[in-house]
């Protein structure tokens, strides 16, 4: 089983001149044609729920997914590799790791990235993740992110919204989130949701009210409460909230780099409403 996550390391990138190779025995490679290869170091459960926690607004998804891994003691089972990613590793427990890793339990797979994914790689990433989900007969793709709101400092209990790949998934929400009827989703999660819809892979994207450029553990906690209701889990968020200030301080560098990529992809476009309604 994996070691409990150390928040002092989880959100800090360790840069090196060359990316270390061959640190994990690689049993399987998939999805090389689009620039990513998915390396499985242990068996991946079939018909599982796949949770995605990528750096985004408020780092909501990364914080929430990391807490899921720690709370459920999920095992590291693989990684996503690309020569186009920054030449870096992360250290956990003194051991070099890929910054984009896969964890799993009996019926749950979690994908996290501890580095910002460049805009140019978002489409290949979405395509390869959905293809991989199909190959594993994934039951549901559940992505966790933030929704920036200008008055976040006045909101004690952030609200959770959901974008769904098909209408019948509304009942799966179990009242945990309000369905988004109109709007834009910019970045990896928008591409993932669209690709899932095209491939008939059930998908829900949870977007929680959050700060735009400030790590938001409270929003991550609200997102986790929604995940609990949707999946019937009982993950305790009290530790995440208790260490909120510490996490904010330690993750400020990651948030800064994430903000730079958000600007490149015109993330502020999410504030707009589509001019045409179907």
Q: Which of 13, 3, 11, 73 is nearest to 216 (CA)?
A: 11
Residue 277 in domain: no
Domain range enclosing 256: 7-14+26-269
Which stretch of DSSP H or E encloses residue 69? helix 60-72
Residue 21 in domain: no
**Residue-wise pLDDT tens digits, 15-33:** 332 333 333 333 344 434 4
Average pLDDT, the chain: 85
Residue 276 in domain: no
Q: 186-190, 241-245, 258-262 — which one is most confidently predicted on average? A: 186-190
Residue 1 in domain: no
Residue 246 in domain: yes
DSSP letters, 21-64, are: -SSS----EE-TTTT-EEEESSPPPTT-EEEEE-S-GGGHHHHH
Q: Identify which has the larger pLDDT, 207 or 6.
A: 207
Residue 278 in domain: no
Q: What percent of the chain has pLDDT over 70?
A: 83
**Domains contained in the chain, number:** 1
We report the CATH number of the domain holding residue 221 as 3.40.50.10900
pTM: 0.82
**Residue-wise pLDDT tens digits, 182-199:** 988 999 999 999 999 999
pLDDT band with cut points at 50, 70 and 90 for residue 269: low
Residue 65 in domain: yes
Residue 172 in domain: yes
């Amino acid at each position: 089983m994996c070691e409990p996550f150390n928040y002092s390391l989880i959100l800090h990138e360790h840069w090196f001149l060359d990316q270390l190779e061959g640190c994990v025995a690689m049993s399987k490679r998939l999805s090389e044609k689009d620039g990513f290869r998915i390396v499985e170091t242990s068996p991946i459960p079939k018909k599982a729920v796949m949770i995605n926690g990528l750096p985004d607004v408020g780092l909501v998804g990364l914080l929430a997914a990391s807490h899921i891994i720690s709370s459920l003691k999920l095992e590291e089972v693989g990684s996503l590799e690309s020569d186009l990613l920054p030449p870096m590793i992360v250290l956990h427990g003194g051991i070099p790791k890929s910054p984009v890793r896969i964890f799993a339990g009996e019926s749950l797979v979690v994908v996290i990235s501890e580095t910002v994914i460049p805009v140019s790689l978002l489409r290949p990433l979405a395509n390869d993740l959905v293809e991989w989900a199909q190959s594993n007969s994934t039951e549901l793709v559940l992505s966790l992110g933030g929704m920036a709101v200008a008055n976040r400092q006045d909101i004690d209990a952030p609200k959770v919204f959901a974008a769904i790949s098909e209408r019948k998934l509304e009942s799966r929400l179990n009242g945990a989130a309000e369905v988004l009827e109109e709007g834009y989703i910019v970045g990896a999660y928008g591409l993932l949701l669209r690709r899932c819809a095209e491939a008939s892979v059930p998908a829900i994207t949870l977007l929680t009210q959050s700060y735009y450029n400030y790590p938001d553990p409270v929003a991550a906690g609200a997102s986790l409460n929604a995940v609990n209701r949707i999946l019937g889990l009982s993950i305790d968020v009290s530790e995440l909230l208790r260490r909120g200030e510490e996490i904010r301080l330690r993750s400020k560098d990651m948030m800064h780099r994430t903000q730079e990529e958000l600007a490149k992809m015109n993330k502020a476009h999410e504030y707009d409403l589509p001019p045409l309604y179907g």
